[in-house]
Amino acid sequence: MHCSGAYSRQRADPYIGLSCGSRAAARVKHVLPSKREQSKQHTNPIQISINPTIATPTTREKATMCHGSGAHDVSPRSTTMNIEQRYFCLSTYFHQRFGQRVQKIPLHAGFSCPNRDGSLSTSGCVFCNPMGSGSGEKMQHMSLRDQYMWWRDTFYKKYKVQRFLAYLQSFTNTYGPLSKLTAVLDQLRDLPEIQGLCIGTRPDCVDREKISALAAFPGSECWLELGLQSSNDSTLKKINRGHDAASFARAATMASEEGLAVCAHIIAGLPGESRENFLQTIAFVNDLPVQGIKIHNLYVCRGTTLGTWWEHDNYVPLQRAEYIDWVIHGLAILRPDIVIHRINGDPQPGELLAPAWAGNKSQILQAIHNELCSQDIWQGQLSGYAATQPPWFSRSYQGDIPPCR
């Protein structure tokens, strides 16, 4: 699926049963009219500023109208209908696509990471904990099917969810030979009620063959979650990522060409980074064929290099108010067709060292919503494509989404 493509809004998903690559081809048919229309509407798109100033009155009354409803990978969200959505969140996207809630199921497939096993380094990214920044390691002794079935039954009993995506989250899930990846995909393809796949990896661990294998996975959704973190190469070096921003751009472009949806992972508050650096990263993502984004606040975990820096006063996390300010202004310049998969990090129990505010996910989400409302900001407001709140931020929207790139 190219980012310039329009998403289908039919509740009965016409793409079920097609591979991701076939789906992309099907969606291209929807793209062309919308693209032409869009080019007429935006012959002079506004240049994105990385120093946005949004002069609007602060009205505390508006804040009370906001309903928190961020999209989360694992945690359940409120079922309250959001009547004033300020961004295009993942749960909204799923409701438009499937007419019901879709749950991502975290699976641990036993992959490692070149930044951990010595191929690139043994210390990993400075913020990465020994679990590989994932949450499924407690189940790694179980087969993928058993992990999936356990979560599926749990979510069904608790929330009556009947649509699921397999989510390979921990470590680098395309690392190693192609045969390893295809063996994992073979275990997933026939799981009950599975609608597709989300797979997290590094941009330097994908190639055309692996992307083609992912594109052939059955189901209506196939998201490649690619770590970028920052578009600033000196920051990437400082945090020991082991790849540069150009590597991300190449991988995202290749994935998009093969019909995968790309979700970029970025972080606010990286060592040495300013608000301007963060906004530059958003602008970098805007220019690529990316359909989703995860925005994380950088928090300090036990057992990490960052933890040592923090203990020796060599790293100071963002204040909560700073993070909220960065995020809402990042949203203002973000393309409005990009689905927000996450808008804050979510530490595992017991791993958080600092800042304390990072441990309360729901409060952060609510504060972001409140601030978006009180400053009258919405996703894409300064992107040149969303002079008013786009209708597709609402769950009930059934039309196409015009290309915004």
> What residue ranges bind ligand SF4 (CB under 6 A)?
113, 115-116, 124-125, 128, 132-133, 171-172, 202, 227
Nearer to ligand SF4, 194 or 205 (CB): 205
Nearer to ligand SF4, 117 or 325 (CB): 117
Q: Is the peptide bond before 390 cis (omega within 30 degrees of 0)?
A: no
Contact 264, 249 (CB under 8 A): no
Interatomic CA distance for residues 140 and 142, integer angstroms:
5
Smallest separation, CB 164 to ligand SF4 (Å): 24
Nearer to ligand SF4, 227 or 269 (CB): 227
Sign of CA dihedral 21, 26, 27, 28: positive
Strands 261-268, 221-229: pairing is parallel
Nearer to ligand SF4, 23 or 202 (CB): 202
Residue 350 has phi, psi (to 5 degrees) of: 85, -10
Residue labelled with tokens 């923090």:
310
Smallest separation, CB 236 to ligand SF4 (Å): 11
Amino acid at 260: L
First to last CA, the chain: 14
Q: Percent helix, strand and coil across the chain, each rounded to 5?
A: 35, 15, 50
Smallest separation, CB 204 to ligand SF4 (Å): 9
Smallest separation, CB 168 to ligand SF4 (Å): 12
Q: At what angle do helices 208-215 and 20-41 cross, to 10 degrees?
A: 100
Nearer to ligand SF4, 219 or 227 (CB): 227
Per the structure block, which two tokens stand in for 335?
């393309």
Smallest separation, CB 113 to ligand SF4 (Å): 3
Nearer to ligand SF4, 17 or 303 (CB): 303
Smallest separation, CB 133 to ligand SF4 (Å): 4
